[in-house]
Amino acid sequence: MSNEQNRVRKATRVESVMNSAMWHLAQRDMTESELLAKLRVKTDNQAWIDETLEKLRGFGYLKSDNDFAIQFIERSFFSEYGSGYITEKLKKKGIKSDVISEAIERVKEDKQIDEQDIVTERINNYYSEFNMSREKLTATLQKRGFSYAQVKEAIAQHPQSSQLQSNLEIKAAKADLEKEVLKYVRKGKGLTVIRQELRQRKIDITDL
């Protein structure tokens, strides 16, 4: 038995199930799957659960998974999140993959959403110049649900994209050429190998 089941007082009548449902819905919007999980902690009586859900639908208090998904998707796109983020969040709320993908396509069509435009606009508005690595920027935008290809295209069009360095390039710019060469010499490496290794690490070997 879970901790939640230990804490929740079991329902002795159908009204208690309804009161519990109304309390949960007052806290935040829930999918039917999420509310169902809460009510199953409250009671094992499926008839009471079914009656409660039916009444909530009738009152308009409980959205269908499709309606919930559409509202969530609209909010997410307008808050500059991509499909990857949306899909992950809705799956955690118990909504089926086919419902999610159909809702995403419907919102894109109805609201004329272009995810490439969203990520491009975000980069242009939030980053007048870049003070992070290419990898970090890519990871930040992928966490918002955009694909690697979308992020790459958005970065490429930015006026300062040539300034965006990789982790390797940032590290190389801070490297002390003399110290790096001595490390290789101590390992018994010859000049040709040292040049090759330093080039791979993006370290400037002009003064070598």
In this prediction, residue 1 carries a pLDDT of 44
Q: Report which residue type is found at 38.
A: K
Residues 89-140: tens digit of each pLDDT:
999 999 999 999 999 999 999 999 999 999 999 999 999 889 899 999 999 9
The C-alpha atoms of residue 196 and residue 134 are separated, in whole angstroms, by 24
Say if residue 58's pLDDT is above 70.
yes
63-77: per-residue pLDDT in tens?
889 999 999 999 999
pLDDT-wise least confident of 15-29, 86-100, 120-134, 177-191: 177-191
User: What's the rounded mean pLDDT across residues 47-56?
Assistant: 96
Q: What angle do CA 17, 21, 26 make, to 5 degrees?
A: 150
| Highest mean pLDDT pick, 44-53, 124-133, 184-193 | 44-53
